[in-house]
Amino acid sequence: MTILQAIILGIVQGLTEYVPVSSSAHLILVPWLFGWNNAAITSLPFDVALHMGTLLAVLAYFAGDWVRLIRAGVVSIIERRVGNDPDRRLAWLIIIGCIPGGIAGLLGESAIEHWFHQPNVPIRPAALLLMAGIIALLGLLLYLADRASGHERPLASLSLKDAIVVGLAQALAVFPGVSRSGSTITAGLGLGLKREAAARYSFLLSAPIVAGAGAKSLLDLLGTNLPAADFAIFLAGFLAAAVSGYLTIRALLGYLQKHSAALFVY
C-alpha cells in the first residue's frame, strides 16, 4: 500500500464515519473499485489507525463537552445522585447507549467482517449484494424518519428509553453496510429529536465504542512485529482520517441546523 492510498482511505474513513453512510462498506468498495488488492489495506493495524484518527476527531471537536460530561459523571458517582443536571444525565445516557453496541461488537463483529471480506480474497458477490441491500434499506428508513414531522425535541429531553433505542440501532453497525451514524441518527429522528441533536448524540455515542474497539484491537496487536516501513503509511491514514473526520463533524452539524438529512439518502 502506498502513502497516497492510505491518505485516500483515511479521507474516506473520516468522511463516511460521521455522515449517514456506511464507512465500513466504503472502505471495502473503494479498494475493490480501484483494484487495490493489498493485504495491508484490510490489515488490523491499518484499521486501528483509521479508527483512532476518527476517534481523535470526535474527541477534539467535542473537547469542551467531554470535560463537562466526565466531571459531571464523576460527581454523580461521588454524590450517588444524577438529579436533573443535564450534563450528569447525558453522561449516563451515553454510557447506557453504548452498552448494546459494546455487546454486539464483542460477540459478533469479527465473524461478520470475516465473512464479508478477507485479506487477498475477492469480495463475495453475495456480500456485495447484501451490502447494497442494507444501504438501500437504511436510506429508505432515514428518508422516512427525516420526513416525519415533530423534530422539535432538544438533546436535553433524551430519556432512558431513547438512549436504549439509539443504542440498539448502533449495535446494528457490526454489519458492513450499516452506517453507525446513519442508524443512530435515523433512530434519533424517529424519536422526534431535532436533526442537529440527533447527530450530536450520535457523535458523542461513537467515542466510547470506537475507543473500546480500538483498545481491544491494540491488545490483539501486542507481540506482533510491524514493519518499520508501514509506520509512515499508517500515520498518513491516521492523520487523514482525523482531519477529514473533524471537518465532517463541523460541516454536518452546521448543515443539519438548516437542512434535512435527505441529501444522504441518495
| Collapsed DSSP state (helix, strand, coil) of residue 121 | strand
This prediction has a pTM of: 0.85
Q: How far apart are CA 78 and CA 89, in angstroms?
A: 15
- Grid coordinates in use for 156? 436535553
The residues that bridge with 118 in the sheet, in sequence order, are 121
pLDDT tens, position by position, 80-134 = 999 889 999 999 999 999 999 888 887 766 555 655 555 545 556 666 677 777 7
Per-residue HEC secondary structure of 24-88 comes to HHHHHHHHHHHCCCCCCCCCHHHHHHHHHHHHHHHHHHCHHHHHHHHHHHHHHHHHCCCCCCHHH
pLDDT band at 54 (very low <50, low <70, confident <90, very high): very high
- Grid coordinates in use for 133? 441491500
